[in-house]
Amino acid sequence: MNKLIKYELKKTFTSKAIYVCGGIGVLVAILNGFLSCTKGHVAGKSYLIGLLPGSLLSTLLAILVPIIVCEEMESGCIKTMIGKGYSRNKIFFSKVIVSNLYMILLASVSLITGLVYAAFSKTNFNGITSKYILNVILEMLVFMIIVNLGILFSVLAKIKGIAIAATIFCPSVIEIGLLALDVVTKKEIMSKFWYGSFNPALMEGVLKNSEYIRIALVSLSYNLIFLGIAYVLLRKKDF
Protein backbone atom coordinates (compact mmCIF):
# COMPACT_ATOMS: atom_id res chain seq x y z
CA MET A 1 0.00 0.00 0.00
CA ASN A 2 2.80 2.44 0.92
CA LYS A 3 4.50 1.85 -2.45
CA LEU A 4 1.25 2.51 -4.29
CA ILE A 5 0.58 5.72 -2.34
CA LYS A 6 4.13 6.93 -3.04
CA TYR A 7 3.63 6.07 -6.71
CA GLU A 8 0.34 7.99 -6.86
CA LEU A 9 1.89 11.03 -5.16
CA LYS A 10 4.95 11.01 -7.41
CA LYS A 11 2.80 10.57 -10.52
CA THR A 12 0.55 13.51 -9.71
CA PHE A 13 3.26 15.89 -8.54
CA THR A 14 5.09 15.36 -11.84
CA SER A 15 1.88 16.19 -13.70
CA LYS A 16 0.87 19.71 -14.69
CA ALA A 17 -2.75 19.14 -13.58
CA ILE A 18 -2.15 19.57 -9.85
CA TYR A 19 -0.23 22.82 -10.38
CA VAL A 20 -2.78 24.23 -12.82
CA CYS A 21 -5.66 23.41 -10.44
CA GLY A 22 -3.72 24.83 -7.49
CA GLY A 23 -2.89 27.99 -9.44
CA ILE A 24 -6.53 28.49 -10.41
CA GLY A 25 -7.52 27.98 -6.77
CA VAL A 26 -5.07 30.70 -5.67
CA LEU A 27 -6.27 33.15 -8.35
CA VAL A 28 -9.94 32.57 -7.49
CA ALA A 29 -9.21 33.00 -3.76
CA ILE A 30 -7.44 36.31 -4.46
CA LEU A 31 -10.31 37.47 -6.67
CA ASN A 32 -12.86 36.53 -4.01
CA GLY A 33 -10.77 38.34 -1.42
CA PHE A 34 -10.60 41.44 -3.58
CA LEU A 35 -14.37 41.45 -4.19
CA SER A 36 -15.32 40.57 -0.61
CA CYS A 37 -12.73 42.26 1.60
CA THR A 38 -12.12 45.54 -0.20
CA LYS A 39 -13.65 48.36 1.83
CA GLY A 40 -15.02 45.81 4.32
CA HIS A 41 -17.87 44.57 2.14
CA VAL A 42 -18.17 41.26 4.03
CA ALA A 43 -17.69 40.49 7.73
CA GLY A 44 -14.76 38.18 8.47
CA LYS A 45 -16.91 35.33 9.75
CA SER A 46 -19.12 35.36 6.64
CA TYR A 47 -16.02 35.54 4.47
CA LEU A 48 -14.49 32.51 6.22
CA ILE A 49 -17.45 30.19 5.66
CA GLY A 50 -17.87 31.40 2.08
CA LEU A 51 -14.24 30.84 1.07
CA LEU A 52 -14.40 27.18 0.04
CA PRO A 53 -17.85 27.16 -1.63
CA GLY A 54 -16.78 30.20 -3.66
CA SER A 55 -13.39 28.77 -4.66
CA LEU A 56 -14.37 26.67 -7.73
CA LEU A 57 -13.05 23.72 -5.72
CA SER A 58 -15.89 21.42 -6.82
CA THR A 59 -15.03 21.98 -10.50
CA LEU A 60 -11.29 21.65 -9.91
CA LEU A 61 -11.80 18.35 -8.07
CA ALA A 62 -14.15 17.08 -10.78
CA ILE A 63 -11.29 17.62 -13.24
CA LEU A 64 -8.33 16.50 -11.13
CA VAL A 65 -9.73 13.28 -9.61
CA PRO A 66 -10.55 11.52 -12.92
CA ILE A 67 -7.09 12.47 -14.21
CA ILE A 68 -5.54 10.78 -11.15
CA VAL A 69 -7.79 7.71 -11.15
CA CYS A 70 -8.18 7.01 -14.87
CA GLU A 71 -4.55 7.17 -15.99
CA GLU A 72 -3.67 3.49 -15.44
CA MET A 73 -7.08 2.31 -16.66
CA GLU A 74 -6.85 4.37 -19.84
CA SER A 75 -3.28 3.30 -20.62
CA GLY A 76 -3.76 -0.33 -19.62
CA CYS A 77 -1.03 -0.12 -16.95
CA ILE A 78 -3.47 -1.39 -14.34
CA LYS A 79 -3.16 -4.87 -15.90
CA THR A 80 0.59 -4.73 -15.32
CA MET A 81 0.08 -3.57 -11.73
CA ILE A 82 -2.31 -6.45 -11.03
CA GLY A 83 0.09 -8.85 -12.78
CA LYS A 84 2.92 -7.70 -10.50
CA GLY A 85 0.90 -8.77 -7.48
CA TYR A 86 -0.80 -5.54 -6.42
CA SER A 87 -4.33 -6.38 -5.34
CA ARG A 88 -7.31 -4.43 -6.65
CA ASN A 89 -8.12 -3.52 -3.05
CA LYS A 90 -4.76 -1.82 -2.55
CA ILE A 91 -4.92 -0.06 -5.93
CA PHE A 92 -8.41 1.22 -5.14
CA PHE A 93 -7.71 2.45 -1.62
CA SER A 94 -4.41 4.09 -2.60
CA LYS A 95 -6.32 6.15 -5.18
CA VAL A 96 -9.04 6.99 -2.63
CA ILE A 97 -6.48 8.13 -0.04
CA VAL A 98 -4.43 10.20 -2.48
CA SER A 99 -7.48 11.78 -4.15
CA ASN A 100 -8.83 12.92 -0.79
CA LEU A 101 -5.38 14.19 0.21
CA TYR A 102 -5.43 16.39 -2.90
CA MET A 103 -8.85 17.70 -1.89
CA ILE A 104 -7.44 18.68 1.52
CA LEU A 105 -4.39 20.23 -0.18
CA LEU A 106 -6.43 22.32 -2.65
CA ALA A 107 -8.88 23.36 0.08
CA SER A 108 -5.98 24.39 2.33
CA VAL A 109 -4.38 26.42 -0.47
CA SER A 110 -7.65 28.27 -1.09
CA LEU A 111 -8.25 28.87 2.63
CA ILE A 112 -4.72 30.06 3.37
CA THR A 113 -4.62 32.33 0.32
CA GLY A 114 -8.01 33.83 1.14
CA LEU A 115 -7.19 34.36 4.81
CA VAL A 116 -3.80 35.93 4.05
CA TYR A 117 -5.47 38.33 1.62
CA ALA A 118 -8.12 39.15 4.22
CA ALA A 119 -5.44 39.77 6.86
CA PHE A 120 -3.65 42.24 4.59
CA SER A 121 -7.02 43.89 3.89
CA LYS A 122 -7.52 44.25 7.66
CA THR A 123 -10.77 42.28 7.59
CA ASN A 124 -12.44 42.05 10.98
CA PHE A 125 -12.70 38.43 12.12
CA ASN A 126 -14.34 39.18 15.47
CA GLY A 127 -17.24 36.93 16.43
CA ILE A 128 -15.87 33.72 14.93
CA THR A 129 -16.81 30.77 17.15
CA SER A 130 -16.19 27.03 16.96
CA LYS A 131 -19.45 26.72 14.99
CA TYR A 132 -17.89 28.64 12.09
CA ILE A 133 -14.92 26.25 12.09
CA LEU A 134 -17.43 23.38 12.09
CA ASN A 135 -19.04 24.91 8.99
CA VAL A 136 -15.67 24.82 7.20
CA ILE A 137 -15.04 21.19 8.24
CA LEU A 138 -18.47 20.12 6.98
CA GLU A 139 -17.88 22.00 3.72
CA MET A 140 -14.76 19.87 3.25
CA LEU A 141 -16.80 16.75 3.98
CA VAL A 142 -19.13 17.79 1.15
CA PHE A 143 -16.16 18.24 -1.19
CA MET A 144 -15.11 14.72 -0.23
CA ILE A 145 -18.39 13.56 -1.79
CA ILE A 146 -17.33 15.14 -5.09
CA VAL A 147 -13.96 13.37 -4.85
CA ASN A 148 -15.57 9.99 -4.28
CA LEU A 149 -18.18 10.61 -6.98
CA GLY A 150 -15.27 11.36 -9.33
CA ILE A 151 -13.69 8.04 -8.36
CA LEU A 152 -16.98 6.24 -9.07
CA PHE A 153 -17.38 7.78 -12.53
CA SER A 154 -13.70 7.11 -13.27
CA VAL A 155 -14.11 3.41 -12.52
CA LEU A 156 -17.31 3.32 -14.58
CA ALA A 157 -15.94 5.14 -17.62
CA LYS A 158 -12.19 4.33 -17.48
CA ILE A 159 -11.72 7.39 -19.73
CA LYS A 160 -10.73 10.78 -18.27
CA GLY A 161 -12.88 12.97 -20.52
CA ILE A 162 -16.09 11.02 -19.91
CA ALA A 163 -15.44 10.77 -16.16
CA ILE A 164 -14.75 14.52 -15.90
CA ALA A 165 -17.93 15.40 -17.83
CA ALA A 166 -20.03 13.01 -15.73
CA THR A 167 -18.62 14.32 -12.44
CA ILE A 168 -19.36 17.91 -13.45
CA PHE A 169 -22.74 17.58 -15.15
CA CYS A 170 -24.57 14.58 -13.62
CA PRO A 171 -24.98 16.16 -10.15
CA SER A 172 -26.39 19.32 -11.78
CA VAL A 173 -28.93 17.30 -13.76
CA ILE A 174 -29.99 15.41 -10.62
CA GLU A 175 -30.28 18.66 -8.67
CA ILE A 176 -32.52 20.21 -11.35
CA GLY A 177 -34.72 17.11 -11.28
CA LEU A 178 -35.02 17.25 -7.48
CA LEU A 179 -35.88 20.95 -7.54
CA ALA A 180 -38.57 20.25 -10.15
CA LEU A 181 -39.92 17.45 -7.95
CA ASP A 182 -40.04 19.84 -4.98
CA VAL A 183 -42.03 22.33 -7.07
CA VAL A 184 -44.49 19.65 -8.19
CA THR A 185 -44.97 18.23 -4.68
CA LYS A 186 -44.86 21.73 -3.11
CA LYS A 187 -42.36 20.46 -0.55
CA GLU A 188 -38.66 20.97 0.08
CA ILE A 189 -37.83 17.46 1.13
CA MET A 190 -35.83 15.90 -1.70
CA SER A 191 -33.48 18.82 -2.31
CA LYS A 192 -32.70 19.07 1.42
CA PHE A 193 -31.13 15.62 1.27
CA TRP A 194 -29.10 16.25 -1.88
CA TYR A 195 -25.51 17.18 -1.05
CA GLY A 196 -25.63 20.13 -3.46
CA SER A 197 -27.82 22.00 -0.97
CA PHE A 198 -25.42 21.59 1.96
CA ASN A 199 -22.71 24.15 1.17
CA PRO A 200 -25.20 26.95 0.37
CA ALA A 201 -26.77 26.29 3.79
CA LEU A 202 -23.36 26.23 5.51
CA MET A 203 -22.45 29.54 3.85
CA GLU A 204 -25.39 31.29 5.51
CA GLY A 205 -23.94 31.15 9.02
CA VAL A 206 -24.40 29.21 12.24
CA LEU A 207 -27.03 26.46 11.97
CA LYS A 208 -29.02 24.47 14.49
CA ASN A 209 -27.26 21.44 15.96
CA SER A 210 -29.84 19.18 14.31
CA GLU A 211 -28.87 20.64 10.91
CA TYR A 212 -25.19 19.97 11.54
CA ILE A 213 -25.98 16.38 12.48
CA ARG A 214 -28.17 15.92 9.38
CA ILE A 215 -25.53 17.34 7.03
CA ALA A 216 -22.75 15.25 8.62
CA LEU A 217 -24.70 11.97 8.56
CA VAL A 218 -26.06 12.40 5.03
CA SER A 219 -22.62 13.48 3.72
CA LEU A 220 -20.99 10.42 5.28
CA SER A 221 -23.71 8.25 3.74
CA TYR A 222 -23.05 9.66 0.26
CA ASN A 223 -19.31 9.09 0.69
CA LEU A 224 -19.80 5.48 1.77
CA ILE A 225 -22.34 4.75 -0.98
CA PHE A 226 -20.22 6.20 -3.81
CA LEU A 227 -17.06 4.49 -2.54
CA GLY A 228 -18.91 1.21 -2.00
CA ILE A 229 -20.26 1.15 -5.56
CA ALA A 230 -16.86 2.13 -7.01
CA TYR A 231 -15.15 -0.60 -4.96
CA VAL A 232 -17.53 -3.32 -6.16
CA LEU A 233 -17.21 -2.16 -9.79
CA LEU A 234 -13.40 -2.10 -9.67
CA ARG A 235 -13.28 -5.64 -8.29
CA LYS A 236 -15.52 -6.87 -11.12
CA LYS A 237 -14.03 -4.82 -13.99
CA ASP A 238 -12.17 -6.69 -16.70
CA PHE A 239 -9.00 -4.72 -17.42
pLDDT in tens, 97-133: 999 999 999 999 999 998 888 888 887 778 788 899 9
* pLDDT interval class at 214 (50, 70, 90): very high
| Predicted local distance difference test score (pLDDT) of residue 239 | 62
124: enclosing H helix or E strand: none
Specify which of 31-35, 54-58, 84-88, 107-111 reaches the highest per-range mean pLDDT: 107-111
Taking phi over 0 as left and psi of -120 to 50 as alpha, with beta for the rest, 186 belongs to left
From the number of C-beta atoms within 10 Å of its C-beta (0-12, 13-18, 19+), residue 124 rates as middle
Average pLDDT on 11-19 reads 83
pLDDT at 197: 87
pTM, entire model: 0.90
Say whether pLDDT at 39 is over 70: no
Helix axes 130-157, 57-75, angle to 10 degrees: 30
**Alpha carbons 58 and 47: distance in angstroms, whole number:** 18
| Residue 219 pLDDT level (bands cut at 50, 70, 90) | very high
Which amino acid, 126?
N
| CB neighbour class for 35 (10 Å; exposed up to 12, middle 13-18, buried from 19) | exposed
Contact call for residues 218 and 193 (beta carbons, < 8 A): yes
pLDDT at 136: 94
Phi then psi for 117, rounded to 5 degrees?
-60, -45
Higher pLDDT, 181 or 141: 141
User: Residue 228: pLDDT above 90?
Assistant: yes
9 has pLDDT over 90: no
Instruction: Give the 3-state secondary structure of residue 176.
Output: helix
H/E run at residue 193: none
Identify the pLDDT of residue 153: 93
- Higher confidence at residue 164 or residue 69? 164
Domain edges within the chain: 2-236
